[in-house]
Amino acid sequence: DVKVTQSSRYLVKRTGEKVFLECVQDMDHENMFWYRQDPGLGLRLIYFSYDVKMKEKGDIPEGYSVSREKKERFSLILESASTNQTSMYLCASLRRTRHSSYEQYFGPGTRLTVT
Amino acid sequence: GQQVMQIPQYQHVQEGEDFTTYCNSSTTLSNIQWYKQRPGGHPVFLIQLVKSGEVKKQKRLTFQFGEAKKNSSLHITATQTTDVGTYFCAGPTSGTYKYIFGTGTRLKVLA
């Protein structure tokens, strides 16, 4: 079974703090993603990575950066947290099946509150 | 940019009634995926559709991909309380693994 873990389920940070969200997958997947989920807006892609040290901006990258030094780990960094970054953050990795079907496996999510 | 819309946003049904959610993309999709997110949980992959006009069934769930590959639907027959959750569709941007998710349909089933 694919397992995607995230470092924290709940996190409370102060405005201006630097925040690190960690995601680890155990299936040697090349593609990993960071989304944020807000009520009524669905899942919005922040950044994704298609290999070690390779990254691409998603739809809402402003205020975020990412790091992928090892294949299994994809980190999301909030350089200076702001209250509008209070949200649920979901990490996912992409599995390709034998039949060329693609499935995203999600971690449990980190609910971040910035005060 | 590419957009994926879902309707309705919310749906309350009595247990045993049918339920349908619709997904519409602003561009043609190479494939479409459906996910289910239980309350307090994370999205879980349900299925992927690839071919124009494709229909797939999973027990009481029927998934369709439109002929033009720009829309899709998920139909649940005789809903049960275990069907409660938010259903998302997702389609890839052309030539990438970057998926755009729909806004989701939250289903409540009243016993």
B45-101: pLDDT as tens digits: 999 999 999 999 999 999 999 999 999 999 999 999 999 999 999 998 877 788 999
Among the partner residues B42, B102, B103, nearest to A90 by beta-carbon distance: B42
Using a CB-CB cut-off of 8 Å, the residues of chain B touching A108 are: 41-42
Using a CB-CB cut-off of 8 Å, the residues of chain A touching B99 are: 33, 45, 104
Mean pLDDT, residues B1-8 taken together: 89
**Å from B79 to nearest chain A CA?**
23
**Å from A15 to nearest chain B CA?**
26
CA–CA distance from A56 to each of A32, A47, A48, A64, A89 (Å)? 11, 6, 5, 12, 17
Q: What is the DSSP letter of B54?
A: -
Contact between B109 and B18 under an 8 Å Cβ cutoff? The reply is no
Token pair of B25 as six digits: 């993309």
Please state which of the ranges A21-25, A40-44, B13-17, B67-71 shows the lowest mean pLDDT. A40-44
Class of residue B2 by CB neighbours under 10 A (exposed 0-12, middle 13-18, buried 19+): middle
- 3-state DSSP assignment of residue A85: helix
Across the interface, do B48 and A102 touch by the CB < 8 Å criterion? yes
Residue-wise pLDDT for A55-114, tens only, equals 999 999 999 999 999 999 999 999 999 999 999 999 999 988 777 788 999 999 999 999
Question: Binning pLDDT at 50, 70 and 90, where does residue A39 land?
Answer: confident
Total CB pairs under 8 A between chain A and B: 56
A39 in reach of chain B (CB within 8 A): no
Kindly identify which residue of chain B lies nearest to residue A36, measuring between CA atoms.
Answer: B101
Write down the pLDDT at residue A99: 72
DSSP string of B56-109, one letter each residue: EEETTEEEEE-TTSSEEEEEESS--GGG-EEEEEEEEPTTSS-EEEP--EEEEE
Q: State the pairing for strand pair B71-76/B85-92.
A: unpaired
